[in-house]
Amino acid sequence: MDKARTSPRRLSVPDTIGLAFVALLLVWLAINFVKGPQEFVNVALIGLTNGAIYGLVALGYTLVYGILQLINFAHGDVFALAGLVASSVIVSVLGLDTGSSIVVIVGGLLVTLVLIMSGFALFNASIERIAYRPLRNAPRLAPLITAIGMSFIVQNISLAFYGVDYQTVPNFISRSPVFEVGSVSYSWNKLTVLIIVVPLLVLLTWFVTSTRQGKAMRAVAQDTEASAMMGIDVNRTIGVTFMIAGALAGGAGIVYLLQFNMRYDTGFQLGLIAFTAAVLGGIGNLAGAVLGALTIGFIEAFNEGLTWNAPGSDWTRTIVFAILILILVFRPEGLLGERTPEGA
């Protein structure tokens, strides 16, 4: 008998530590669920909503990294600028307020969504054309530094036009519950996030997997030189990728604006979370970015919303990055990523 095939695999020390950590986490969640099941479900729904917003931004990071292996640090700032411009369109250009009819509000928000997503698709493509394309064959450190520089430039554009004050829009969408079962409820404003985000995610998945341009994006991501030899216009494909990422940032900016306030540096904070989500899920992998974003959304919500031995909001960032480090130690390619020669 072949002993190598019958002997059970012995767990290493890191494996044991990782499994013990997961077990403790599950026990903590189970105890909180038993102590307050309705509160647990309410907190989980908040995590689902926030995770959906993070996912929309994380997809922009993972799309660009997947095709260029570039961490586009400016993406979070494009998201923030999109939200700020959207506030101007909604309040100053369209003049929407809570006294407007439902038809006018819905129509105005749809017009804003189309304008912002289209405008920031072109804006992001312009960034690629001006700042990144000339460095296509430069050492990888050069576009990385350029991305950091573009982040500061976009952030300062936001600061110059909107100042340091938070921008907001009226509460167009009711905070009343869509459904209420006992103490468990879900409000219309949170459902609106899913109504916008889920179709965008489905549309993106269909585009990447089923269209000619999407297949070209996947081919360029796998091998740029081979794609060029097969007749794929690499520059146009990369430009389209940046346009999609910019449109996603625009959509996320509006969704975030309808829930929270925004200012010039909101993109840095949320962009950091979204980038972490992309790495956590396996950067370059669309499903991984969404899974990572939902994971972080749930971690935030459980840590800040549960009452039994929860560390609290002061520890949220620490916990998120500690979990990221642990996952990268045990699975460097992320939750759904594929191991590459460079260990990405």
Tens digits of per-residue pLDDT, 125-137?
A: 999 999 999 998 8
105 or 18, which is more confident: 105
What is the number of alpha carbons within 13 Å of residue 102 lying toward its C-beta? Answer: 2
Number of structural domains found in the chain? 1
d(CA 197, CA 11): 40
Task: Answer whether residue 258 shows pLDDT above 80.
Answer: yes
Show the CA angle centred on residue 92, arms to residues 88 and 98, nearest 5°: 100
Write out pLDDT tens, residues 13-44: 777 877 888 888 899 999 999 998 999 999 99
Distance CA 98, CA 94 (A): 13
Q: Is 225 inside a domain boundary?
A: yes
Instruction: Tell me the one-letter amino acid at 273.
Output: I
Print the domain residue range for 237: 60-265
Helical spans, DSSP H, in 89-140: 102-127
The answer to whether 276 touches 296, Cβ cutoff 8 Å, is: yes
Confirm whether 8 is domain-assigned.
no
pLDDT of residue 340: 56
Contacts of 73 (CB under 8 A, 6+ apart): 147, 148, 150, 151, 271
- Using 50, 70 and 90 to split pLDDT, how confident is the model at 171? confident
Q: In the numeric block, which tokens belong to residue 49?
A: 């909503």
Structure tokens belonging to residue 206: 């269909």
Which residue from 172, 288, 316, 223 is spatially nearest to 232, judged by alpha carbons?
Answer: 223
Specify if 214 maps to a domain: yes
**Could you give the angle at which helices 75-88 and 102-127 cross, rounded to 10 degrees?**
140
Instruction: Specify if 250 maps to a domain.
Output: yes
In a domain, 78, yes or no: yes
- Cα–Cα distance measured from residue 73 to residue 151, given in angstroms and rounded to the nearest whole number: 6
* Tokens linked to 252: 């996320």
User: Is residue 64 a part of any domain in this protein?
Assistant: yes
pTM for the model stands at 0.87
292 in a domain, yes or no? no
Report if residue 287 sits inside a domain: no
Q: Which amino acid type is present at position 181?
A: V
3-state secondary structure (DSSP) of residue 140: coil
